[in-house]
Structure 1
Amino acid sequence: MQNKNKTVVKSMKLLDLFRTNRKLSLNEMVHLSGIPKTSAHRMIGSLEDMGLLSKDEEGKYTLGMLFLEFGQLVADRLDIRQIAYPIMQALRDEIGEAVNLTMKDNWEAIYVEKLDTMHPVRLFTKVGRRSPLYAGACSRIILAYLTEKEQEEYLIKTELQPYGIGTITDKEKLRLVLQQSRLDGYTVSHSELENHTSSVAAPIFDYTGQVIGGISMAGPDVRFQKGQLPILIDKVKSAAAEISQKLGFLGPLK
């Protein structure tokens, strides 16, 4: 903390409130952030002047349009997203299930692209959604391909909370699943992030051989039964391999 500018840190704390709140008043921001009202008022004014916050006629704040511009710039510069999209589209069109693309962001997975299923019954997932690395196939496949040191660092500091009835909350079991996923080149999840949903995922590597993301197919568990899994696994692994190769990965793929 000693090397961080305290005003910048507090400003980010205020902006971070809008991850889970669409609109907030000054008093609400003060209450949720714990920042003194005078300081918060000054920082909010500066953030508004810079276009990072916008105030409506009711006096409530929302994220400013500058975030839309920045967000589009980030999206446009994500090579993996541009490379993966046509491959994801072909996979979705062939199989008919939703296809998701995730990337590692610190100790979480973030969804950077998605294509919805053609079926009327679908899952709710959106670009920008975050999930813990231990839960859900598209997140856990990233964790599976981190180094043993990174995995242990993550497991030591992370409390495994249940999100669905199938979430793995036992660390020894998770270690075994990670090991097997790495041997297999894919992972499967059932009711881990949401009940009665399933997902199949494979890892994506960059030109250095490092795992940078995962691609998955996901849907209601009734469409991911044991007899249907082999074809889904094969297609997801092939898509992941194609994306990795286009990113310059030259190593062997399972």
Structure 2
Amino acid sequence: MSGVITKAIQILDLLVPQGTEKEMSVTEIGKELNMPVQSVHRLLSSLAEHGFVAQNTSNKKYKLGLSIMKYGFLMWDSLMLRSVARPFMEELSQRTKETVYLSVRENAEGVYIDSVDSPQILKISEPIGLRLPLFNGASNRVILAFLQPALRQTLMDSFVWDDVPSLKPLTRSYIEQELKTIRDNGYAVTAGEATEGTTGIGAPIFSYENTVIGSINVAGPSIRFGEEQVEKYAGLAKKYAGLISGELGFRGRSRYQ
């Protein structure tokens, strides 16, 4: 299997444009990579099925497909998000004196991709790369709440509700009601779900395509998150998430309500 993957990657590398769009025939690719034409044809058929290459119907030659562009844009969005969000995260941490996380979605999980630590001795410090199901924790649940409804439904159906990795019991009916409340309020608040004695407040970040691509999360010891602080920090989280969204080109309300 690894050999097949290697050959497929070699074909994709060969088709990378050099200034202008590049098209090659099956025979040309086979000759360039020293592969049998039959093998090249099988690999191209599989790659085309998933949109990684496309065939020009006029000359029967192949070029890179839209799936490559899609994954490229996703990677660019992730890099751009982190770069744009960082100064706003630092300012939000300064104003709240709490830790601020930046999260994105990967399939059915939320992942921390950056953080700014609280200056206080008692603070929350979760590792970058931490993954949790999208229904678990404020930073993840707020992303789930603002996803396109069909995708959100698919993800909800995929979760194993009998084996929830949370310190608190979480049921599907509870999460569905929570998601509605989050969409109404524009932010999520959770306490003691992923880490005991902690509270998190998450707000969604939207892209120029008017879709949710991540969240920022103010997190700290629950003893510092009274009703007044939660209200204040929620307002700040929404403000800075909105500023980040604006920098990314978002110019309106999410259509996914």
- TM above 0.5, yes or no, is yes
Please say if residues 112 and 128 of structure 2, whose CA atoms lie closer than 8 Å, have aligned partners that are also in contact. yes
Please say if residues 75 and 81 of structure 1, whose CA atoms lie closer than 8 Å, have aligned partners that are also in contact. no
Amino acid at match of 2:84: I
Amino acid at match of 1:165: L
1:99 aligns with 2:88: no
Please say if residues 99 and 125 of structure 2, whose CA atoms lie closer than 8 Å, have aligned partners that are also in contact. no
Counterparts in 2 of 1:233-252, with a 5 A limit? 233-252=234-253
* Alignment CA distance shift 1:116-1:75 (3 Å): farther
1:129 maps to which residue? Answer: 130
Counterparts in 2 of 1:65-214, with a 5 A limit? 78-160=79-161, 161-167=163-169, 169-214=170-215
2:27 maps to which residue? Answer: none
Please say if residues 136 and 166 of structure 2, whose CA atoms lie closer than 8 Å, have aligned partners that are also in contact. no
Separation in 2 of the partners of 1:200 and 1:76? 23
* Alignment CA distance shift 1:164-1:8 (3 Å): farther
Structure 1: segments with no counterpart, 5+ residues: 10-73
Structure 1 residue 117: Cα displacement:
0.8
Q: Comparing 144-153 with 236-245, which one deviates more in the overlay?
A: 144-153
Separation in 1 of the partners of 2:229 and 2:220? 12
Structure 1 residue 181: Cα displacement:
0.3
Structure 1 residue 165: Cα displacement:
3.3
- Secondary structure of the 1:165 match is coil
- Secondary structure of the 1:123 match is coil
Q: Aligned Cα RMSD in Å?
A: 2.0
What is the TM-score when the length of structure 2 is the normalising length?
0.67
Structure 1 residue 164: Cα displacement:
4.0
Separation in 2 of the partners of 1:117 and 1:6? 44
Please say if residues 167 and 193 of structure 2, whose CA atoms lie closer than 8 Å, have aligned partners that are also in contact. yes
Task: State the number of aligned residues.
Answer: 184
- Secondary structure of the 1:227 match is helix
- Secondary structure of the 1:87 match is helix
Please say if residues 163 and 194 of structure 1, whose CA atoms lie closer than 8 Å, have aligned partners that are also in contact. no
2:30 maps to which residue? Answer: none
Per-residue CA deviations over 1:104-143 (Å, capped at 9, x if unaligned) read 1111111111011111112231221111100000011000
Q: Which has the larger radius of gyration?
A: 2
Report percent identity of matched pairs: 30
Structure 1 residue 153: Cα displacement:
1.0
Separation in 1 of the partners of 2:251 and 2:78? 23
Separation in 2 of the partners of 1:123 and 1:152? 32
Separation in 2 of the partners of 1:217 and 1:252? 22
Please say if residues 84 and 243 of structure 1, whose CA atoms lie closer than 8 Å, have aligned partners that are also in contact. yes
Per-residue CA deviations over 1:153-192 (Å, capped at 9, x if unaligned) read 111111134444335x210111010011011100100111
Structure 2: segments with no counterpart, 5+ residues: 6-74
1:42 maps to which residue? Answer: none
Structure 1 residue 195: Cα displacement:
1.2
Structure 1 residue 227: Cα displacement:
2.5
Separation in 2 of the partners of 1:246 and 1:138? 20
- Secondary structure of the 1:131 match is strand
What is the TM-score when the length of structure 1 is the normalising length?
0.68
* Alignment CA distance shift 1:165-1:206 (3 Å): same
1:223 maps to which residue? Answer: 224
* Alignment CA distance shift 1:78-1:225 (3 Å): same
Separation in 1 of the partners of 2:4 and 2:95? 47
Please say if residues 164 and 193 of structure 1, whose CA atoms lie closer than 8 Å, have aligned partners that are also in contact. yes
